[in-house]
Amino acid sequence: MDYSLSEEQNILKKSAHDFLAKECPKDLVRKLEESHKGYSPELWQKMAELGWMGLAIPEEYGGSGGSFLDLIILFEEIGYNIVPGPFLSTVVLGCMPIAAAGSETQKKELLPGIASGELIITMALTEPEAFYSASSIKVEANVDKNEYVINGTKLFVPDANNADYLLCVARTGNGEDPEKGLTIFIVDAGDPGIQLTHLKTLNGDNQSEVEFRNVRVKNTDILGGLDSGWPIVQDTLQKASVALCAQMIGGAQAVMDMSLEYAKQRTQFNHPIGSFQAIQHHFANMWADINGSKYLLYRAAWKISEDIPAGMEVAMAKSRIGAAYRRVTILGHQIFGGIGFTKEHDLHLYHKRSISADSTLGNSYYHNQIVADELGL
């Protein structure tokens, strides 16, 4: 299978790379890490004007009608430049479930706002168990006439503090099969019954504890049907995992590029350190990790784009790429030495993200189990 990019995709990749190199320098990244919002509304709007938020949204709803594979190219460049912001939350966790399972009214109300950059949407899924299984969902939505009342706590909700809407996954049935009693509700994030607690994280990204206290939603706010939410969640998690893999590969490539430049310039014993065999082997291992990971990434992304079942491919990609990103950053530290561990050095930013991303949306153990299950074990 040939996973090389088309001419249009190469243009998209280069334009995104050049734009982010100019508009999102590392000084801005550090500044945004310390801010409450965690992203730049000005940069967000510029990205929207380039059509990034609507890249995979159908044209009739204000988007460009691009493929999921097109979107992965953007995520790779976002990872290369470690751009802070709710792009993954809004474009994948929020937008894709609506585009796939929303009613015509829901699509018309929400998708154009996402495409224009006016709306930020995220999914409230995980709870104190922090596990991605149907049985771990305890937040309840109980029927009250023509409404549902949501109560409970969601944990590690990305970008909830900036969101206009939350896609809350709640339990509406308690049968023997936990997957058949879950419903997704579109909830106004400004509802007075929602209380947010900001969580301090390793790499300064925005995550929150979200408490729902008697939050009322209408029947028309159900996404995809009553008790039918779990297949939508699974599909969304697969797409989000692949998007995160693209960010990790982009980050790993940036680490290799900056390390390579340093190895050519830094001298020891009157020679560039890149001339030493140990350093050369570090780069060989980096290259193998990155390019082997790209095959897994684009195979999974292609199958999703073609609407082919990709459970095993996604799990393999997330498991291997998470570990590869961490290995590449560690080798980067070996090349840079002590300076790379300082907070002021760019490598420090990538290392933090490699640790965080590896465990986000399930770590290697979680995804290895999916592969085992797919094998019938």
The answer to whether the Cα torsion of 10, 300, 82, 46 is positive or negative is: positive
CATH superfamily of 231-374: Butyryl-CoA Dehydrogenase, subunit A, domain 3 (1.20.140.10)
C-alpha–C-alpha distance, residues 209 and 111, integer Å: 26
Which residue ranges make up each domain of the chain? 7-118, 123-228, 231-374
The DSSP bridge partners found for residue 20 are: none
Q: What predicted TM-score, i.e. pTM, was given to this entire model?
A: 0.96
Please, which residues have CB within 8 angstroms of residue 92's CB and are 6 or more apart in sequence? 71, 236, 239, 240, 243
Q: Classify 7-118 by CATH class.
A: mainly alpha
Q: Do 83 and 20 contact (CB within 8 A), yes or no?
A: yes
Q: Burial-class residue 231 by CB neighbours within 10 Å (0-12, 13-18, 19+).
A: middle
Total Cβ atoms within 10 A of residue 308: 9
Residue 121 has pLDDT above 70, yes or no: yes
Percent of the chain with pLDDT over 90: 86
Judge: domain 123-228, CATH 1.20.120.1750. no
- pLDDT on residue 204: 75
CA-closest candidate to residue 240, choices 186, 183, 310, 287:
310
pLDDT in tens, 201-240: 877 788 999 999 999 999 999 999 999 999 999 999 999 9
Max mean pLDDT among 25-34, 101-110, 173-182, 265-274 falls in 101-110
Confidence of residue 36 (pLDDT cuts 50, 70, 90): confident
Burial 63-80 (b: 16+ CB within 10 A, else e): beebbbbbbbbbbbbbbb
**Cα–Cα distance, 28 to 77 (Å, whole number):** 16
pLDDT for 65 equals 95
How far apart CA 260 and CA 135 sit, in angstroms, is 46
What is the pLDDT at residue 163? 97
DSSP-assigned letter for residue 6: P
Residue that the structure tokens 């969580």 belong to: 199
132-173 per-position pLDDT tens digit: 889 999 999 999 988 999 999 999 999 999 999 999 999 999
Confidence at 1, pLDDT banded by 50, 70, 90: low
Band of the pLDDT at 94, cuts 50, 70, 90? very high
Structure tokens given for 178: 């936990």
Task: Tell me what percent of the residues of the chain surpass a pLDDT of 70.
Answer: 99
Instruction: Compute the CA torsion angle 355, 361, 365, 366 (nearest 10 deg).
Output: 170
- Interval 241-264 mean pLDDT: 97
CA distance 348 to 352: 6
Over residues 85-93, the mean pLDDT reads: 97
> DSSP for 101-151?
H--HHHHHHHHHHHHHT---EEEE---TT---SGGG---EEEEETTEEEEE
pLDDT tens, 278-337? Answer: 999 999 999 999 999 999 999 999 999 999 999 999 999 999 999 999 999 999 999 999
Question: Which amino acid belongs to residue 279?
Answer: I
pLDDT attached to residue 225: 94
Nearest one of 291, 349, 374, 377 to 24, comparing CA atoms: 349
- In whole angstroms, how far apart are CA 74 and each of 80, 151, 366? 10, 37, 26
7-118 shares its CATH topology with 231-374: no
CB of 290 closer than 8 Å to CB of 324 = yes
CA gap 181, 99 in Å, rounded: 22
